[in-house]
Structure 1
Amino acid sequence: MVQPLLGKQLRATTLATARGNLWEGAVRSSKTVSSILVWLKYVRTGPPGALLMVGKTERTLKRNIIDPIVEMVGVKRCKYKAGAGEVIIFGRTIYVAGANDERAADKIKGMTLAGAYCDEVTTFPESFFSMLGTRLSIEGAQWFGTTNPEGPNHWLKKKFLDRAKLHLRRDGTVVESSDPKALDLHRFSFSLDDNPYLPPAYVANLKLEYQGLFYKRFVLGEWCLAEGVVYDMYDEARHVVDVLPEIRHWMCVGLDYGTINPFAAVLLGVGTDDRLYVASEYRHDSRAARRQLTDAQYSAAVREWLGTYRHRGGEGVQPQWIFVDPSAASFMTQLWSDGVQGVAKADNEVKDGIRSVSVAFGSNLLHVHRSCAGLLSELPSYAWDEKAAKAGEDKPLKVDDHSVDALRYALHSSAHEWRHLARTNLEVAA
Structure 2
Amino acid sequence: MAVDLDAVGRTLSPIHLRSVVESTARLNIWQGSVRSGKTVASLLRFLMAVATAPSSGRVLLFGKTRESVNRNVFAVLTDPALFGPLARLVKYNPGAPTGTILGREVDVLGANDAKAEPKVRGMTLCLAYGDELTTIPEVFFTQVLARLSVRGAKLFGTTNPDAPNHWLRRKYLLRAGELNLRTWQSTLDDNPHLDPQYVADLKREYVGLWYKRFILGRWVQAEGAVFDMWDEDRHVVPMLPRIDRWISLGIDYGTRNATAALILGVGEDGRLYLTHEWRHDPAIARRQLTDAGLSRELRRWLADIEVPGTQCLKGLNPEWTVVDPAAASLRLQLHEDGMTPALADNAVLDGIRLMSSLLGNDQVKVHKSCQGLIDEIPGYSWDDKAAERGEDAPIKADDHSIDAARYAIKTPEVLWRPMLRRAVDLAA
TM-score of the pair, normalised by structure 2? 0.93
Q: Which amino acid aligns with 2:316?
A: V
Matches within 5 A, 1:200-279: 200-279=196-275
> What residue number does 1:281 align with?
277
Q: Which amino acid aligns with 2:287?
A: R
Deviates more, 1:418-427 or 1:283-292: 418-427
Q: Percent identity?
A: 50
* Shift, 1:20, TM fit: 0.6
- When the two chains are superposed, the root-mean-square deviation of aligned CA atoms in Å is 1.7
> What residue number does 2:38 align with?
31
Q: Which amino acid aligns with 1:318?
A: N
Structure 1 residues 423 and 121: CA distance shift in structure 2, 3 A: farther
Matches within 5 A, 1:168-183: 182-183=178-179
CA contact (8 A) 1:205 1:423 kept: no
Gaps of at least 5 residues in structure 1 are 166-181
Separation in 1 of the partners of 2:15 and 2:285?
60
Q: Which amino acid aligns with 1:201?
A: Q
Residue deviations 1:86-128, cap 9 Å, x none?
Answer: 1212111111111111111111111111111111111111110
> What residue number does 2:390 align with?
392
Separation in 2 of the partners of 1:183 and 1:412?
41
> What residue number does 1:325 align with?
324
Separation in 2 of the partners of 1:427 and 1:38?
41
Q: Does 1:379 align with 2:369?
A: no
> What residue number does 2:4 align with?
none
> What residue number does 2:130 align with?
118
Matches within 5 A, 1:11-410: 11-48=18-55, 49-72=57-80, 73=83, 76-165=88-177, 182-311=178-307, 312-313=309-310, 314-341=313-340, 343-410=341-408
Separation in 2 of the partners of 1:223 and 1:386?
16
Residue deviations 1:375-402, cap 9 Å, x none?
Answer: 0111111110112111211110112111
Separation in 2 of the partners of 1:8 and 1:83?
33
SS in 2 for 1:81: coil
Structure 1 residues 53 and 422: CA distance shift in structure 2, 3 A: farther
- Aligned pairs, number: 413
Separation in 2 of the partners of 1:338 and 1:282?
18
CA contact (8 A) 2:247 2:416 kept: no
Q: Which amino acid aligns with 1:320?
A: E
CA contact (8 A) 1:53 1:96 kept: yes
Separation in 1 of the partners of 2:218 and 2:353?
16
CA contact (8 A) 2:173 2:183 kept: yes
* Shift, 1:84, TM fit: 3.0
Separation in 1 of the partners of 2:275 and 2:111?
39
Separation in 2 of the partners of 1:77 and 1:386?
48
* Shift, 1:77, TM fit: 1.4
* Shift, 1:351, TM fit: 1.1
Deviates more, 1:56-65 or 1:83-92: 83-92
* Shift, 1:202, TM fit: 2.2
* Shift, 1:373, TM fit: 0.2
Residue deviations 1:56-97, cap 9 Å, x none?
Answer: 111111111111111134663111123431121211111111
Deviates more, 1:278-287 or 1:187-196: 187-196
CA contact (8 A) 2:302 2:315 kept: yes
Separation in 2 of the partners of 1:147 and 1:227?
21
SS in 2 for 1:288: helix
Gaps of at least 5 residues in structure 2 are 1-6
